[in-house]
Structure 1
Amino acid sequence: MSILGKCPYCNGAVISKKFITNAKEIKLYSCENAKKEYDESEQYVFTSDSTCTFRVYSNAFLRWNKRSFSENEMRRLLSEGQTKVRLHGRKGSKEYYKYVVPNEEYGVTILWDEEVESA
């Protein structure tokens, strides 16, 4: 577990944790104040003492053929308010860059309308 920066919403520490799901290791970047647990109906919900909702899984961009959102990309997002990511088309052939910014509901969101210089 390592601290990556300050939460964009509450200034808590954003930490990185590794875990395994579906036989794949992924990372969860989450504010120390965004705590979740399983409730009695087996739903994964924020705890009663949770005061923030910032959480991003490293596989958030799999739909765009980006295998992992790295710790360096998360550090840049937290320090600069945005980061540039490299995405790929459906067949993996076309490569393009987009900015990613924090999003309260989804953790992060891609700015599709912004043009980005490659590399």
Structure 2
Amino acid sequence: MILGKCPYCGGNVISQKLTIQGQKVNLYTCEHATKERDINDDYVFSATSSCRFRVYSNTFLRWNKRSLSEYEMKQLLKEGQIAVRLHGRKGTSEYFKYVIPDPEYGVSILWDTEVA
């Protein structure tokens, strides 16, 4: 499923369903960010990859957000930022922060900016 345009190269961002270590997750990746197995059996970007935009749906799990949905990814690609709801360590407190695309990590949380 095509979610939008890559913020870096303009290619299509697609959604793929994967099972990683028994967990079902979505991978949102640019069509130009292909990976392959190398001689050490590790996944690395292929020689033909011209982009590195990849985001796993469980990327915010450490802040008790179970999944970044396809709808949220569409909004992020369309608007350049979205507000997400995160939770404290014990899951009792909740707060909102902006998320933006990041060339190195896929997405980043803007910790210093308050959501109005």
Q: TM-score, normalised by structure 2?
A: 0.98
Residues matched between the structures, number: 116
| Residue 30, structure 1, aligned to residue 29, structure 2 | yes
Unaligned runs of 5+ in 1: none
> Matches of 1:36 and 1:70 in 2, distance apart?
23
Cα deviation, residue 22, structure 1: 1.5
Q: CA deviation at 1:55?
A: 0.2
SS in 2 for 1:78: helix
SS at match of 2:33: coil
Deviation of 1:41 (Å): 1.0
Question: Match for residue 67 of structure 2?
Answer: 68
Q: 1:24 Cα shift?
A: 1.2
Structure-2 separation of matches of 1:39 and 1:108: 26
Cα distance in 2 for partners of 1:101, 1:20 equals 26
Cα distance between partner residues in 2 of 1:87 and 1:24: 20
- Give a deviation string over 1:63-118, Cα, whole Å, max 9, x none: 0000000001100100000011000000000000000000000000000000013x
Per the alignment, residue 48 of structure 2 pairs with 49
Tell me the distance in 2 between the aligned counterparts of 1:110 and 1:40. Answer: 34
* Root-mean-square deviation (Å): 0.6
Structure 2 segments unaligned to the other structure (5+ residues): none
For residues 1-119 of structure 1, what are the structure 2 equivalents within 5 Å?
A: 2-117=1-116
Give the residue type in structure 2 aligned to 1:53.
R
Q: Percent identity among equivalent residues?
A: 63
